[in-house]
Structure 1
């Protein structure tokens, strides 16, 4: 017992000596010790081109031309795609990417503060600034901003790198304030999974029609003509979604202990249906009195529904054509305007389907619980139980990258995939030419 107490005394004395030496600057082992304890482990071993330690937990990540833009709670920073060198950092509460290729820009702003800045993704230099907009939407071919004052609101479209408006659309004051970057508009929502970031596909093309919510109405804007073309009413039994250049009015009625749904599509300013059918676009839960509280899943021109016997169906929003009708047990894992990834009824196979070619394009085995996302550059499959991520060509199924990792896919670009685990970010390049 005495011997044990002696060793404890020596240990305490040694600790005191180390602390004194460190505080007086004579010798400080703590930084090296902390560096050893906090060293980074590869999150994409054998596949990553580079890996970087982030300054915090990212809110979003987007590939902007040859930069990887990381959004935190109160700041934005960019890394070079080639080597992962940090290019710039800026204080901001939100960011979004607009444009494509060399026309790409980064839009940043502050919460509860009007205005925004348009930055160069390589240098962070300010290209254009606005001091009055309350909300901004970013697309591959445009930036939209909304200004509201006592006299009303005005929606303005800009080329991503332009300095002169493309058009302006006045509108009466909206019923509530839209602010920040890309606030929700009546449309469709992406289909991914909890292991994949919802914004992995990056910005999309500005749709032909946009809906601005205004209490119990939706104001429809024609983005090609730059004018307000219609105002549509919606209530508890009706939900308005804008997709494929059409206004979809989904009606849900409770009868016989279940919900019955009907969808009618119109082409503003006309109110005559272009197409209509009985289909559940999953805008409500049957047990919630058929109250519709969410947008349908899909791309801009493709929506996912369920037929009266519970089988999934994909519908072209602009003309109502049935693009795919599932067999019992088949489920859509991901969908956009060009392709769908479908899980077979056995749960062991995923199939890629091309809407242009009208049939299945590729097949590959998958593990239980597989999730998927479709982006312009790759179909991303995440197998949580196997800790594996695979990126394939959405058209041919050719493997672009495959990584054994438990990281989460956050972004894709023409040349690669961004993965995040904790505060570690890795860039995984695609290894074959992207086809389809």
Structure 2
């Protein structure tokens, strides 16, 4: 650069600095915003919003998007990501469904919780005694204990806040706290590219199993009554699935573990169905009889493996085979109506009611939600109609899918959140 050019550049820099310092014109914030803005989460997103941190969870509640951080919760409008409200909380969970959904928040190591309107953040109901809360489409269930030996499980209507039932559960031998602590039911199949709670809150099951110092107290959620208390043997594991109490027994013999499953109906403990040789993958190691996990599956369906290495999906209520695979097929997602089966590089959507595959799609993994099947490929996310495989969205993105609603899904990449609308 010539001496004259250097002089002009220096003069321009001095002029800009003077204008900025006097408040006449400051280009630096705009320049920094341009430099620091990340690229699009996915092409064609209806909106994209930069978040204040990395979210713990993101959920759709009616026409609001609820973002949970480590120590706070905030809400945005679903239509255009307009900020709605924020609140200090250590955890948040969604109860209810659609326009009747509510946000349940609370603090760790602090009893009680709040039920908030998802659109305004206004408190609808609060509790000061509960140590644990479970959220469902049709109920909020909380556990309160007085002195550790007098505990009650209470169900509430999410929309009206009225009490549905309350039942004493005796003492609880260890602490159940915060939102949705693990219960002895099914262990859902998940994938790293989709949040574990992408399907939203489930329907309240007919029976709930509450763990209590080595035993399980079984609650009938229709009547709000304690109907059975089960204490499994050392070689057994109990899970409450599909309105039945499943007892899985693992017997070590000949260097391996032989499994058997018995499903009973409380309160009389009548046997409804049973299977010998059915492995529900309750042990970390197939030859280890120490059962440290819940049965694989989801909702009212359990996923097992027969003695020949073939996977089978079973209705937990009556023991019917919903699908029986071959040695080259494996189940990657399941709910009460459909399963996604992978074989080679192809995924198939299997309908239990029709007894056949209703769609096929290339992909590596998938997640089932009430509104769409999320199929994942290499840097691609495809949303399909569960019953037919019709494409609702097909985008190139490496973002993680956190929530799926009736009309679109929420994707998050780093601190950027985007709404991908269905066509």
TM-score by length of 2: 0.93
Deviation at 1:235, TM superposition (A): 4.2
SS at match of 2:40: coil
Alignment of 1:44-55 (within 5 A): 44-46=42-44, 48-55=45-52
Equivalent-residue separation in structure 1 for 2:292 and 2:48 (angstroms): 40
Equivalent-residue separation in structure 2 for 1:67 and 1:298 (angstroms): 30
- Asked if 2 retains the 8 angstrom alpha-carbon contact of 1:79 and 1:86, the reply is yes
Partner residue of 2:205?
Answer: 207
Partner residue of 2:324?
Answer: 325
Partner residue of 1:119?
Answer: 116
- Tell me whether 16-25 or 244-253 shows the greater mean CA deviation: 16-25
Equivalent-residue separation in structure 2 for 1:271 and 1:161 (angstroms): 35
Deviation at 1:301, TM superposition (A): 1.3
1:70 is aligned to 2:62: no
Partner residue of 2:388?
Answer: 396
1:343 is aligned to 2:342: yes
- Asked if 2 retains the 8 angstrom alpha-carbon contact of 1:377 and 1:412, the reply is yes
Deviation at 1:276, TM superposition (A): 0.6
Of 356, 361, 372 in structure 1, the residue corresponding to residue 353 of structure 2 is: 356
SS at match of 1:289: coil
1:75-107 Cα shifts (integer Å, max 9, x gaps):
111111111111111111100001112211110
Partner residue of 1:8?
Answer: none
Partner residue of 1:7?
Answer: none
Partner residue of 2:289?
Answer: 290
Partner residue of 2:400?
Answer: 408
- Asked if 1 retains the 8 angstrom alpha-carbon contact of 2:257 and 2:287, the reply is no
- Asked if 2 retains the 8 angstrom alpha-carbon contact of 1:259 and 1:286, the reply is no
Of 366, 378, 385 in structure 2, the residue corresponding to residue 372 of structure 1 is: 366
1:276 is aligned to 2:274: yes
- Tell me whether 170-179 or 189-198 shows the greater mean CA deviation: 189-198
Aligned in 2, Cα 1:23/1:261: closer, same or farther, shift over 3 Å?
Answer: farther
Equivalent-residue separation in structure 1 for 2:282 and 2:190 (angstroms): 17
Equivalent-residue separation in structure 1 for 2:105 and 2:371 (angstroms): 25
Aligned in 2, Cα 1:220/1:15: closer, same or farther, shift over 3 Å?
Answer: farther
Deviation at 1:393, TM superposition (A): 0.6
Equivalent-residue separation in structure 1 for 2:115 and 2:346 (angstroms): 44
Equivalent-residue separation in structure 2 for 1:138 and 1:312 (angstroms): 31
Partner residue of 2:169?
Answer: 171
- Tell me whether 28-37 or 280-289 shows the greater mean CA deviation: 28-37
Equivalent-residue separation in structure 2 for 1:125 and 1:78 (angstroms): 12
Equivalent-residue separation in structure 2 for 1:396 and 1:325 (angstroms): 21
- Asked if 1 retains the 8 angstrom alpha-carbon contact of 2:256 and 2:287, the reply is no
1:118-169 Cα shifts (integer Å, max 9, x gaps):
0011111000011111011100000001100125100000000223311100
1:34 is aligned to 2:37: no
- Asked if 2 retains the 8 angstrom alpha-carbon contact of 1:149 and 1:173, the reply is no
Equivalent-residue separation in structure 2 for 1:17 and 1:250 (angstroms): 79
Of 415, 419, 423 in structure 2, the residue corresponding to residue 423 of structure 1 is: 415
Equivalent-residue separation in structure 2 for 1:272 and 1:261 (angstroms): 20
How many pairs does the alignment contain?
417
Deviation at 1:284, TM superposition (A): 0.6
Ranges in structure 2 where 5+ consecutive residues have no aligned partner: 1-8
- Asked if 2 retains the 8 angstrom alpha-carbon contact of 1:192 and 1:371, the reply is no
Alignment of 1:224-303 (within 5 A): 224-277=222-275, 278-286=277-285, 289-303=288-302
1:334 is aligned to 2:333: yes
TM-score by length of 1: 0.90
